[in-house]
């Protein structure tokens, strides 16, 4: 059966596209749905609709916007079953992980709905009062990747709306369906033009990022794509939030119980087949516990069930797309020469993009599997003897999104964490994100902030009102 009844959302109307495209099920490598795609005229119509809606939306009271964002969360919950199946079919993740993504999506909407943008009093003396106000920017473009189509949209859409902006959403070309269905649900709740959703073949990004009537772009994607967005947005000096590539390092100290921490490390590295921006992608392990941790992780990998995400007991689905599948196969083959594969490494002989969870040891900085962000189910483990060696190696990357330290000595772990070059550093866990806590990268992992109060303020212009009382 092919799904065909998808519509884009422009100016409050559900419409078809200028063209159509197939959507591939990564578990079969075959099309399972047909999706409408916008042309340039439809993108321009979406921007015009958002512009028209902006004065009314930005002038609504914050409590009205908060209530509407809460209702969006309710809509996500009430349609979770349908949305989860769409996510699994178009993205590949197991159905239970798709349900988790939906529950987290609704939770992020609800948490953002509790936030506010109050006037801040900077100074109030006998001669002057200085206030900081936050003002909506205008039309905001949100560009969302394929690994968590709805959850990563929940990082962006609720704060954009709460701040009083109107929005254009462009989902990834390979995962547009759940987002389009979400748009149908949200269209019944939001004023026309406040939210617009356009799908594309991957060709409309430059038109959106350079559009003179778009005030801000928020992108989650690769570093290479982020650089292109910066160039495209430069002529109009747009506000930018760019959450880009990561090659997160973890450092394991000699005082841990390797068997005890192995499940948490495995989850941090392999969730969603490792297709997570803050997945643990390089693991530096002290020589005293190296062999034991390799053995424990290999045992978990070897026992994992890899199958279609619709199969009830599947722990891992396929890699999302053919290009990523081919890249990971190349990294695995290179690892056979540069290191030792101790678990996995097999390309499953069946339709679809299936790769078993793979553990590689006897590698070091300078090999592809360590230096490149694999964004797939492969974890390299690097042995070290001195902690300074591990810190230098962990920092030896253009990326700096996340990192972690694993230790029974919290004070020692904090001291090491402060020497790591990353925007978020976890201790004895990795990859946990919270809507109340700011999240940002360093180096080539991005600019700007998502989540938390700082993430909400990214969708505003700071305005200082300086009042002279001596008139």
List residues with catalytic annotation.
243, 277
CB 170 within 8 A of CB 205: yes
Measured CA to CA, the distance from residue 411 to residue 398 in angstroms comes to: 27
- What angle separates helix 95-112 from helix 80-91, to the nearest 10 degrees? 120
Residue 234 has what DSSP assignment?
Answer: H
CB 73 within 8 A of CB 170: no
Nearest to 202 by CA among 352, 42, 21: 21
Contacts of 301 (CB under 8 A, 6+ apart): 266, 270, 343, 344, 356, 357, 358, 359
3 state SS of 131: strand
CB 247 within 8 A of CB 372: yes
- Report the residue count for the chain: 471
19-25 vs 30-37, strand pairing mode: antiparallel
Q: E-strand spans in 162-229?
A: 166-170, 195-197, 216-220
19-25 vs 166-170, strand pairing mode: unpaired
Residue 449, CA distances (Å) to 375, 438, 464 in order: 22, 6, 21
CB 466 within 8 A of CB 136: no
Distance of CA 366 to the CA centre of its chain: 27
Residue 242, CA distances (Å) to 46, 78, 405, 440, 450 in order: 22, 31, 25, 9, 9
**Distance between the two ends of the chain, CA-based, in angstroms?**
75
Distance of CA 384 to the CA centre of its chain: 31
Measured CA to CA, the distance from residue 306 to residue 9 in angstroms comes to: 36
Measured CA to CA, the distance from residue 169 to residue 15 in angstroms comes to: 15
Nearest to 318 by CA among 83, 90, 32: 90
Exposed (0-12), middle (13-18) or buried (19+): which is 463, by Cβ within 10 Å? exposed
CB 223 within 8 A of CB 444: yes
User: What is the helix (H) or strand (E) element at residue 280, kind and residue range?
Assistant: strand 280-286
């Amino acid at each position: 059966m092919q799904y065909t009844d998808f519509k884009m959302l422009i100016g409050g109307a559900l419409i078809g596209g200028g063209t159509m495209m197939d959507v591939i099920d990564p578990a079969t490598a075959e099309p399972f749905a047909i999706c409408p795609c916008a042309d340039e005229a439809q993108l321009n119509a979406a921007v015009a609709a958002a512009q028209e809606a902006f004065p009314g939306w930005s002038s609504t009271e914050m409590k009205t916007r908060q209530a509407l964002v809460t209702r969006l969360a309710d809509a996500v919950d009430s349609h979770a079953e349908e949305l989860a199946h769409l996510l699994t079919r178009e993205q590949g993740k197991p159905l239970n992980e798709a349900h988790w993504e939906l529950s987290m999506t609704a939770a992020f909407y609800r948490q953002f709905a509790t936030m506010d943008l109050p006037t801040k009093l900077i100074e109030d003396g006998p001669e002057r009062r200085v206030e900081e106000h936050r003002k909506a920017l205008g039309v905001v473009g949100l560009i969302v990747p394929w690994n968590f189509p709805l959850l990563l949209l929940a990082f962006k859409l609720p704060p954009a709306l709460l701040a009083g902006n109107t929005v254009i959403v462009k989902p990834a070309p390979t995962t547009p369906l759940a987002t389009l269905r979400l748009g149908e649900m949200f269209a019944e709740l939001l004023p026309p033009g406040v939210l617009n959703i356009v799908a594309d073949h991957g060709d409309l990004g430059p038109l959106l990022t350079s559009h003179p009537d778009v005030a801000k772009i928020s992108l989650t994607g690769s570093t290479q794509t982020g650089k292109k967005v910066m160039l495209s947005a430069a002529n109009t000096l747009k506000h930018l939030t760019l959450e880009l590539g990561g090659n997160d390092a973890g450092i394991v100290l000699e005082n841990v119980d390797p068997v005890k921490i192995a499940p948490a490390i495995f989850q941090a590295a392999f969730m969603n087949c490792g297709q997570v921006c803050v997945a643990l992608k390089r693991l530096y392990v002290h020589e005293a516990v190296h062999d034991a941790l390799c053995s424990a992780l290999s045992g978990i990998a070897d026992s994992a069930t890899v199958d279609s995400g619709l199969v009830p007991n599947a722990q891992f689905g396929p890699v999302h797309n053919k290009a990523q599948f081919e890249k990971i196969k190349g990294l695995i083959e290179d690892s056979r020469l540069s290191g030792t594969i101790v678990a996995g490494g097999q390309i499953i002989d069946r339709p679809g993009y299936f790769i078993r969870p793979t553990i590689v040891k006897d590698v070091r900085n300078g090999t592809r599997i360590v230096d490149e962000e694999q964004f797939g189910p492969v974890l390299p483990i690097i042995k070290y003897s001195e902690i300074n060696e591990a810190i230098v190696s962990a920092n030896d990357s253009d990326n700096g999104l996340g990192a972690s330290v694993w230790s029974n000595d919290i004070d020692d772990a904090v001291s090491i964490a402060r020497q790591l070059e990353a925007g978020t550093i976890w201790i004895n866990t990795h990859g946990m994100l919270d809507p109340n806590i700011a999240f940002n990268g360093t180096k080539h992992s991005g600019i700007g902030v998502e989540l938390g109060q700082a993430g909400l303020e990214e969708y505003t212009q700071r305005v200082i009102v300086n009042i002279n009382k001596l008139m």
